[in-house]
Structure 1
Amino acid sequence: MQYLFPKDFWWGSASSAPQTEGESLGAGKSPNVWDHWFELQPERFFQGVGPENTSTFYHHWREDIALLKQTGHNSFRTSLSWARLIPDGQGPCNPQAVAFYNQVIDELLAQGITPFINLFHFDMPMAMQAQGGFENRRVVEAYADYAALCFELFGDRVKHWFTFNEPIVPVEGGYLYDFHYPNVVDFKRAATVAYHTMLAHAMAVQRFRQSDCDGDIGIILNLTPSYPRSQNPADVAAANHADLLFNRSFLDPALRGTYPDELVALLGQYDQLPTCLPGDRQLLASGIVDLLGINYYQPRRVQCRANQVNPAAPFMPEWLFDHYQMPGRKMNPWRGWEIYERGIYDILTNLRENYNNPRCYISENGMGVEDELRFLQDGRIEDNYRIDFVREHLVWVHRALAQGSRCLGYHMWTFIDNWSWSNAYKNRYGLVQLDLATQQRTVKKSGLWLADVARQHGFTTEDK
C-alpha cells in the first residue's frame, strides 16, 4: 500500500543544546544543572560520562548540517542554551554564543532546512537554579527576558519557536522521582514548578507577540496516552487521574489557556495546589499556542490501586493509580519500553475531537537500542528495527491525516547518537552513528531510508 504525505510535510529530527553541543564549560558558557550535578555525583551517570562528552556539535555543526541534508531533512529542531547565551541567567549576553547560533541558523537556511528553535530543554542555568529555579517567580521573569532576547537576536530568520520541551520531565525528575537535579521528592514543590513553568511559557508567548517577529510559537509536550486495564469504573478513574496529572496539566493551559477544573479539585483535595496570584489567570489565558509539538514514545497503562496508601508517606501520583503491565504487549527488547504504534493516532484523534484540532506535528518519536554495535555490518548500522518502528508509526499518522488531523510533520529523536542525561550513551537513537572516541559520523540504514521517504513524500508497504 502507498502512504503519501503532503508535499509541504515537515521531515526531520530533533535534538537539544545540552545533549549535542559539548563545550559545556567553554566558549563563555556557564554551568547548568547538569554540569553541576555531574561535578557532585558523577557516579549517577552511566559509565561516568558527563555533559562535556556530547556529539560536539559546537565544533562539528557544519559537518552535521551537511548530514542533515543528506538524510532528507527539510526541517530540524534544536534548542538554544540559556546558560551559553546569558551566562548569569540574566544580564549581558555572550557574544561567542550569539555568533555560534547565528552561524548554525544561517547554515541551516542555506541548506534548505527550516530551523525549529526550542528555548529550554531541561537545562536550567545554575545561576538561576541557585535562586530556586522555577520555584522562584523572579526566575520566571528572567526566563521571559531570555526568550525576548532570543526573538530579538534570531527572530528575523527563525519562524518556528517553542518555549519548552517536555516540561513535565524536570518536574517528575527533579521534584518527584529523583532522576534529575535538584533531586527533591515533594509533590507540592513539583506542582509549583509545573505551574510556574506554564507562567513562564505564557510570558514568553506574550513577548513573542509583542515583538516584530512573524511566524509561530508553541510548546512541545510528551503526550503519553493513559490506557486503563479494563473498562471497570475504578480502572477508568485511575487512567483519568494519570491523564490529568501527566498530560492535561500542561496540555490544557497550552491549548485552552486554563487548567481542568477536575485537576484543580483533585490537587485541592490533597492540599497540593500551588500559590496563585492576581493576574495569573489572565496571563495563562494569553499563552495559547500557535503550534503544538508532540513527543510520543510509549503508552501509559494503569489500573486502580490494589492496596491502600500509607497516609504517613509523602503524597505521590501513585496514590491515585497503579502501573499495569499488559500481557502480550509488544516490546523494544533493547530498551525495555512498550511499542504501541496506535498511540500516536490516539493522541492526534484526541486533539482533533477534544481540542479543536490544533496545528501540530510529531516533534519526537524514536527507538533507543543498547549496545547497537551488535548490528554493525560492513561499516554501517543495519537498524531495520528502527525503520520498522518509524514506518509503523507513520502509518498511524497517515490514518489520522486522512481523518482530518492538522498534523504538519514528523521529526525523529534523534539525528545523531547523543548524550542522554544520566543514561549518557547507554541507548542509541540516532539516524547517524557516532564513534565517541574518534567523533566519526556514519549514516545508519535508517538515515538513508528516511532520506528516501522525504524525497518521495511517503513510502510503500506490502500491505494490500
Structure 2
Amino acid sequence: MERADDGIKDVQYRFPKDFWLGGASSATQIEGAAREGGKGLNIWDYWFEKEPHRFYDGVGPDTTSDFYHRYREDIKLMKELGHNSFRFSISWSRLIPGGIGEVNPEAVDFYNRVIDELLANGIEPFANLYHFDMPLEMQQLGGWESRKVVEAYARYARICFEKFGDRVKKWFTHNEPIVPVEGGYLYDFHYPNIVDFRRAVQVAYHTIVAHAKAVKAFREANIKDGKIGIILNLTPSYPRSEHPADRQAAHIADLLFNRSFLDPAVKGEYPQDLIDLLKAHGFLPVTQEGDLELIREHTIDWLGVNYYQPRRVKAKETLPNPYAPFMPERFFDNYEMPGRKMNPYRGWEIYEKGIYDILINLRDNYGNIECFISENGMGVQNEERFIKDGIIQDDYRIDFIKEHLKWVHKALSEGCNVKGYHLWAFMDCWSWTNAYKNRYGFVSVDLKTQKRTPKKSAYWFKAFAENGGF
C-alpha cells in the first residue's frame, strides 16, 4: 500500500508500546446480509420494513458495508493501516435467531472466521454482546422490560463465551446502554418509539440486571486471561455557571445519563441521590429479590469509554407543563455555550478537554479502573468534496483525533489507567436512522461498488501507530 504524507515528523506525544489502537464497529452497522446465513430479524430490520421514510435516503440495514462477505479484505486493510485491535459486536439475532432456541451454525462459523482472521493478522478482537440490536421476537416479548428477555440474554452471553472465549479475551456486555433507553423509551429515535419515563427506568434497570448476569456467566466460564466490561458513552455534564441551581441541574443530568450505568457497573451500587430522585417522583423500578446482591457481586474488570460531545445544562427557565410526558428535562434545560466549537454536520459541540475530565473522574472517583477510549469520532457529510489525487483529504478528522489524543496523553501522564484509543469507525458504516448521511471512517466505502479507499486520516493513524506517538 502506498503511503500518503502522514504529517508526522517528530514525536511530541508518546504513548505506551502496548497502547490499543484501532477502530470500532457493530454488527448491524457493518455486516449487512440481514437476511442471509440463517439470521433472524432484529428490531432495525423490522422498523425499516415498517417505516423506511424514517431512515436517511431510505437506506436500511440490509447491505450496509457488507463486512459479512468482505471481512477478509477489511481485516487485511486494518493490518496494513497499523491497527492492533478491533471492536466488533456479535449479532444476537444472527447467532440465535429469535433470541432463544437453537444456535445458528452458520453464524458460529462466520464469527469463528472473523476472530481467526483478526488473530492471524495480529489484531486483538474485542467482542461486544449487545449494540442496540434486539432480536424482533425478544422485543415482542417486551424487550428489556421483560425478565424473560433478561434470562434469554444471559443464556446468549454464556453461549458466546463457550463458542469464542478460547480466542477472544476482551469482552463487553453492552455498548451505550443509555441510548436504547433514551431512543426507544423517551425521545423516539429508536424502535419501539415509546415515550414513557416509567418504562424507560425499568428498561435501564433490567439492562443492568442483564449485564450483571452476563458478568456472572463470564466468571463461571473461567476464560483464561479474560476480562469483561461495559461500554458507556460518558457525557460530562457541565453547568452553565457555579450558581447552586445550575450545579444541581448538572448533577441530576449526570445521575440520569452517566451514573445510572457507571455506578452499578463499576461500584456495584446505584447512587443514593438517584434512588432518592426516582423515589420522590414515584418512578422506582420493579425489582426482584437477589438483584441488588447480583449487581454488587458482579462488577466489571475494565471499562470502554465512548466520548463525542459534552452535555451543557442550566437550571429550568420555566415550570414544566404538568400535562406533558415526564422527561429528564423536567430537571434542567439544555444550554448552548456562546463561542462553542461545533461539528456543523452532526450538530454536536467539539470539546476535546471533556475526554480528560472523564478520565480524571474515573481515576479519582471510580478506583482508577482500567479503561480505554472505545469510541471517539467525527461524522462529516459529502466527504467526496475533499477528494484530491483519489484520497479524501480529511484533515479535519486528523485534527479532531490529535486534539483529543493530546488530552488522553495528559490524563496518562497524570496517572489515569487508560490503555487505548479506538476511532468510530474503522470504515464508513450505517448509522441507525441517519444511515450513510455522515461518514465517520478511516476508510471510505463506495456504496454502489463497496470499494474501500483509505482516507488521509488512515495514513496519519498508521504513522502514529508506527511511531508510537505524534
TM-score by length of 1: 0.98
Structure 1 Cα separation of the partners of residues 312 and 448 of structure 2: 40
Shift of 1:212: 2.9
* CA offsets 1:225-257 (integer angstroms, 9 cap, x no match): 000000000000000010000000000001100
* Matching residue within 248, 266, 280 for 2:259: 248
SS of residue paired to 2:283:
coil
The unaligned stretches of length 5 or more in structure 2 are 1-10
* CA offsets 1:355-392 (integer angstroms, 9 cap, x no match): 11000000000000011111111211000000000000
1:351 aligns with 362
**Does the Cα contact within 8 Å between 2:41 and 2:98 map onto a contact in 1?**
no
Q: Which amino acid aligns with 2:146?
A: N
Q: Quick check: 1:314 aligned with 2:325?
A: yes
**Does the Cα contact within 8 Å between 2:31 and 2:63 map onto a contact in 1?**
no
2:76 aligns with 66
SS of residue paired to 1:161:
strand
**Does the Cα contact within 8 Å between 1:20 and 1:419 map onto a contact in 2?**
yes
SS of residue paired to 1:247:
helix
1:166 aligns with 176
Structure 2 Cα separation of the partners of residues 81 and 271 of structure 1: 36
**Does the Cα contact within 8 Å between 1:53 and 1:419 map onto a contact in 2?**
no
Structure 1 Cα separation of the partners of residues 89 and 17 of structure 2: 26
Structure 1 Cα separation of the partners of residues 463 and 66 of structure 2: 27
**Does the Cα contact within 8 Å between 2:212 and 2:295 map onto a contact in 1?**
yes
**Does the Cα contact within 8 Å between 1:292 and 1:360 map onto a contact in 2?**
yes
1:366 aligns with 377
Structure 1 window deviating more from structure 2 (416-425 vs 332-341): it is 332-341
* Matching residue within 26, 30, 44 for 1:34: 44
1:303 aligns with 314
**Does the Cα contact within 8 Å between 1:221 and 1:251 map onto a contact in 2?**
yes
Structure 2 Cα separation of the partners of residues 308 and 249 of structure 1: 25
Structure 2 Cα separation of the partners of residues 242 and 373 of structure 1: 38
* Matching residue within 155, 162, 183 for 1:152: 162
Shift of 1:50: 0.2
SS of residue paired to 2:151:
helix
Aligned residues with identical type, % of pairs: 65
**Does the Cα contact within 8 Å between 1:432 and 1:442 map onto a contact in 2?**
yes
Shift of 1:312: 2.0
- Following superposition, which runs of at least 4 residues in structure 1 exceed 2 angstroms of deviation? none
SS of residue paired to 1:302:
strand
SS of residue paired to 1:2:
coil
* CA offsets 1:415-442 (integer angstroms, 9 cap, x no match): 0100000000000000000000000000
1:4 aligns with 14
Q: Quick check: 1:270 aligned with 2:317?
A: no
Q: Quick check: 1:104 aligned with 2:114?
A: yes
Structure 1 Cα separation of the partners of residues 178 and 35 of structure 2: 27
**Does the Cα contact within 8 Å between 2:85 and 2:125 map onto a contact in 1?**
yes
Q: Quick check: 1:121 aligned with 2:131?
A: yes
* Matching residue within 119, 134, 139 for 2:149: 139
Structure 1 window deviating more from structure 2 (65-74 vs 143-152): it is 65-74
Shift of 1:146: 0.1
* Matching residue within 274, 278, 296 for 1:285: 296
Q: Which amino acid aligns with 1:176?
A: L
1:175 aligns with 185
Matches within 5 A, 1:371-410: 371-410=382-421
2:271 aligns with 260
Structure 2 Cα separation of the partners of residues 87 and 368 of structure 1: 32
* Matched positions, count: 459
2:466 aligns with 455
2:6 aligns with none
Structure 1 Cα separation of the partners of residues 350 and 323 of structure 2: 37
**Does the Cα contact within 8 Å between 1:253 and 1:287 map onto a contact in 2?**
no
Shift of 1:310: 1.4
SS of residue paired to 1:227:
strand
**Does the Cα contact within 8 Å between 1:115 and 1:158 map onto a contact in 2?**
yes
* CA offsets 1:105-145 (integer angstroms, 9 cap, x no match): 00000000000000000000001111001100010000000
**Does the Cα contact within 8 Å between 2:312 and 2:335 map onto a contact in 1?**
yes
The unaligned stretches of length 5 or more in structure 1 are 460-464
SS of residue paired to 2:16:
coil
Structure 2 Cα separation of the partners of residues 127 and 319 of structure 1: 34
1:462 aligns with none
TM-score by length of 2: 0.97
Structure 2 Cα separation of the partners of residues 170 and 333 of structure 1: 25
